[in-house]
Structure 1
């Protein structure tokens, strides 16, 4: 088996050295660390089981519906308040004109 020389920054070397056991080489250290790591985080990314995916879709749809109806309700309330304010202002202007 061959060997390769790799370059690492000084800070990375110090971190590796701190994790290295007395009886292991840097190759053994890196092999151990790679075996201990959970693997590539991208493996299986985006892959939900069908039941979990269906639950997520249902929750997202409910959330959109709730948000949409909440916004529509608030929009209606604001329009009514605006109409009332405009009506009050119009009545006030009419009274001022009568005086």
Structure 2
């Protein structure tokens, strides 16, 4: 299997994905510890059933789907995958921060 060829834009977007993922996990963890509740019903159910590790699993699943779908897209559209992951996670970070402040 050939190694993926990441362009500069896509590389930057994957970096943003990692930052947003870590930021979302951290702000969610802090928010839950301070009494806030998870607004995503799927994540809320997973948290209730499996604890915080469930969020790691959900994020890992999202990344796995993104990487699995990447080869299916034409080269000029592959940056949409990290953009599609980074956008909601970045928004979640800002929402979580606003609730924590």
Q: Shared topology, TM-score over 0.5?
A: no
Compute the TM-score of the two structures, normalised by the length of structure 2. Answer: 0.31
Higher relative contact order (CA 8 A, sep 6+): 2
Q: Report the TM-score when normalising by structure 1.
A: 0.32
More helix by share: 2
